[in-house]
């Protein structure tokens, strides 16, 4: 079974756009998004143990090659491209990998990422103070990292050490307010870029769930079909993924297909 049949793997072993001029700017995020999907595939029996093992080994190699300094993960390891530079690690790149590192129990990597985030950015901002693909343009305000990211960290650590993190479960009832608000926005806005929010909802639905995380899951199921979905999928969350990865161009990795077997199943799993 070719577990990567929907993905383009570049010469560095990273998931990238299938185009000669790709810049690798989303490769780190792609790695996390695919690993999240593989976690739920093995959970539901849609991938073999050996297939999952190969996926996890590939993910670990990708993460290792992106850690260019203590706790800082580049978007892509190719030093000839902007994506390997410091100061471009966005909230979206972090989100998918916080979740994936928890599912794969990458304790050391998660600890370093979190400590760097706390020590260097106060836990309040991502480390993307330069513009993507234009480092010479000067600095900008980085992405804000608030309650949703903090909840991801707690749940990621809960995958690694459930007993030690149980004390933080009451805090999740407060932090999940942002998750619920984002689900409302997801329903009312016609934005196909929902992969990381969907990952956050999937994580919250199976790891230390709260009433608000269950509400977020229910709200997300109300999302209407996206107009640019090439598959005419009537299930809104999957339709958004289809629109983002296949409805805009023909060069994106088909990560949406990784979720087709499991997304509706997991979001309706109470």
Per the rule left: phi > 0, alpha: psi between -120 and 50, beta: everything else, 71 is left
Tell me which of 12-21, 55-64, 160-169, 199-208 is least confident.
12-21
Q: Give the pLDDT mean for 107-115.
A: 98
Q: Give the pLDDT mean for 15-39.
A: 91
Taking Cα atoms as reference points, which of 32, 38, 28 lies closest to residue 67?
28
Q: What is the mean pLDDT of the chain?
A: 94
Q: Is residue 232 over pLDDT 80?
A: no
3-state helix, strand, coil in the chain (%, to 5): 55, 5, 40
Kindly state the percentage of the chain with pLDDT values over 70.
99
Cβ pair 173, 179 in contact under 8 A: no
pTM of model > 0.85: yes
Residue spans per domain, the chain: 27-267
Paired residues of 114 in beta bridges: none
- Please give the backbone phi and psi of residue 70, each rounded to the nearest 5 degrees, phi first: -55, 110
CATH architecture of 27-267: Alpha/alpha barrel (1.50)
Q: Is residue 89 over pLDDT 60?
A: yes
Cα distance between the two ends of the chain: 31
């Amino acid at each position: 079974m070719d577990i990567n049949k929907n993905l383009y793997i570049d010469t560095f072993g990273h998931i990238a756009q299938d185009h000669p001029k790709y810049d690798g700017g989303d490769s780190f995020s792609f790695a996390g998004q695919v690993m999240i999907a593989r976690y739920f595939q093995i959970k539901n029996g849609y991938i073999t143990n050996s297939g999952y093992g190969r996926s996890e080994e590939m993910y670990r190699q990708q993460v290792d090659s992106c850690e260019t300094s203590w706790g800082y993960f580049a978007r892509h390891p190719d030093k000839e491209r902007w994506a390997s530079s410091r100061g471009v690690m966005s909230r979206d790149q972090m989100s998918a990998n916080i979740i994936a590192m928890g599912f794969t129990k990458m304790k050391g990597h998660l600890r370093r990422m979190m400590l760097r985030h706390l020590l260097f950015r106060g836990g309040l901002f991502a480390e993307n103070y330069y513009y993507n693909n234009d480092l010479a343009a000067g600095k900008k305000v980085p992405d804000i990292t608030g309650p949703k990211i903090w909840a991801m960290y707690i749940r990621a650590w809960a995958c690694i050490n459930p007993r030690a993190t149980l004390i933080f479960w009451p805090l999740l009832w407060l932090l999940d307010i942002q998750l619920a608000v984002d689900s409302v926005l997801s329903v009312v806005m016609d934005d196909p870029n929902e992969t990381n929010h969907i990952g956050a909802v999937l994580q919250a639905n199976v790891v230390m769930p709260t009433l608000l995380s269950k509400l977020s899951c229910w709200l997300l199921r109300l999302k209407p079909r996206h107009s640019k979905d090439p598959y005419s999928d009537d299930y809104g969350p999957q339709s958004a993924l289809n629109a983002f990865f296949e409805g805009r161009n023909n060069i994106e990795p088909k990560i949406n297909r990784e979720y087709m077997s499991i997304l509706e199943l997991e979001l309706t799993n109470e």
